[in-house]
Amino acid sequence: MNDKLPKTVKQAMSLLEQAGYEVFLVGGAVRDLLINKVPKDYDLATNATPEEMESVFRDFHCIRTGMRHNTITVHIQNDFIEITTYRNQCYTIQEDLACRDLTINTMAYSLQDGLIDPYGGFDAVQAKILRFTGNGLDRIQEDPLRMLRMIRFACQLDFSIGSQDWSQIQSCTSLLGCVSKERIRDELDKILFSNSKGLEMLYESGLLETIDSHLSELFLCEQKNPYHYTDVGHHTLDALRNVLIFAPVVSHKMLSDFEEKTIRYALLLHDIGKPHVKTTDTNGVDHFYGHPQVSVELARHFLTTYRFSNAEIKRILKLIEYHDYHLSMTYKGMRKMLVKHHLYPEFMKSLLIVKLCDASAHRHPEKMIPALLDFKKFYMDFIQNHPYRLSDLKIDGHMILTLCPDVDPKKIPVIQQECLDQVMQHPEKNTKEELSRFIKKNQRRYRVMKLERK
């Protein structure tokens, strides 16, 4: 393992050892190196206090990133290395490791002694199984978020969860209600980005009921109609599986973190309203009329409760609102989409991915997906050849006032919209001359009525 460590990490460890302190590589970095995965972070544990660490690294930039937990971050060359004093007043590395949540995280590595594995972490990694360290109930009660962390690791590493540990999670789901919404949200983010099976594990464990009962209800809501083959919950799972499959189909550019996060949460919540609007006709066929609107309101409550940013909430709710919207390949339909609903390219990219993922989880994706791809081509051709925003006009409000000095200023947006209607239908008329001619021709309708002063 020594040859896999970055030089900066070995330098930090050597400096602490030369100063007479113990130091070990700990946590996920040890686990990742054992499965030949490049760690995202390298965390060190030591018996040195933060003040002693700062003295050792006085020639480097030290940042007090977590003094509550006795942690500093040392900047060596281009790397930031987090170093923490043994936790919970522990005096040895063995005591420190005993306080960690899962056995796969209880290994440490020393430059002098190699791998230190007092709790069977190496065997757990080899067997691809997740277990709590020591008594699982104690670990959960110390921090109930560890239940979500275990499911997240199962998704990220494709490991299974020990049967006893799974039973302990199922018996403690109500404890998750004591955890802050922000911490739960952050774990949900990682689960959704990892693997869609995480949502099913949350449901089967009972944790989803604690997180949001409306989401749990989706797995109990059957969809007996010609369009679906499974309940709403498993439809949602199947839709989530295909995000990274359809993203490059819609755009050659990689999704930003914001785009991927909002797409995944839109898919998670897009049908959350279905159980509340479900009706069954005399033929036994299920219908879900108006479910996008109900889904928007339930999603708004979920997103607000879990402290999503305003930008994330706005984007996710709009994706849910339009996930079932008919995309028309006509001039009239395009005008409505662009002018009335503002379905601009930066939003349409995400909406098409949502709709494609949704379609892939229907009974007849072979009909729906080609239609959406045809629309994508039509839409891209349209926006490349037609002005569709007020900013695309070759004339602005100042020019309009110059042309018509007595125009009612309140009518300038109306004039601009009429100009946009003209050039959307006739792109060749988007010139200053043509638009000036159009405004002058209609300027009587825009004038202010002048009243005589008494």
How much is the pLDDT for 449?
A: 42
DSSP line for 234-271: HHHHHHHTTHHHHHHHH-SSPPPHHHHHHHHHHHHHTT
Residue 212 tokens read as 């949001």
* Whether the predicted pLDDT of 448 surpasses 90: no
Q: Which of 153, 191, 145 is nearest to 169 (CA)?
A: 145
Average pLDDT over residues 134-151: 97
- Parallel, antiparallel or unpaired: strands 71-76 and 61-66: antiparallel
Spatial separation of the C-alpha atoms in residues 325 and 264, rounded to whole Å: 18
Spatial separation of the C-alpha atoms in residues 328 and 119, rounded to whole Å: 61
How much is the pLDDT for 447?
A: 65
Residue pLDDT, tens place only, 289-338: 999 999 999 999 999 999 999 999 999 999 999 999 999 999 899 989 99
Residue pLDDT, tens place only, 26-43: 999 999 999 999 999 999
* Whether the predicted pLDDT of 255 surpasses 70: yes
How large a percentage of the chain has pLDDT more than 70? 98
* Whether the predicted pLDDT of 63 surpasses 90: yes
Q: How far is CA 154 from CA 145, 378, 402, 444, in A?
A: 14, 42, 66, 70
Average pLDDT over residues 226-232: 96
Query: In what helix (H) or strand (E) does residue 129 lie, and over which residues does it extend?
Result: strand 129-130
Confidence of residue 140 (pLDDT cuts 50, 70, 90): very high
Strand order in the sheet with 43-46: 61-66, 71-76, 79-85, 43-46, 23-26, 108-110, 114-116
Q: How far is CA 45 from CA 12, 75, 109, 111, in A?
A: 11, 16, 10, 13
* Whether the predicted pLDDT of 85 surpasses 50: yes
Spatial separation of the C-alpha atoms in residues 267 and 42, rounded to whole Å: 34
* Whether the predicted pLDDT of 356 surpasses 90: yes
| Averaged pLDDT score across all residues of the chain | 93
How much is the pLDDT for 439?
A: 86
Residues making up the chain, counted from first to last: 454
Q: How far is CA 114 from CA 83, 110, 127, in A?
A: 18, 5, 21
Confidence of residue 107 (pLDDT cuts 50, 70, 90): very high
Residue pLDDT, tens place only, 112-121: 999 999 999 9
Confidence of residue 450 (pLDDT cuts 50, 70, 90): very low
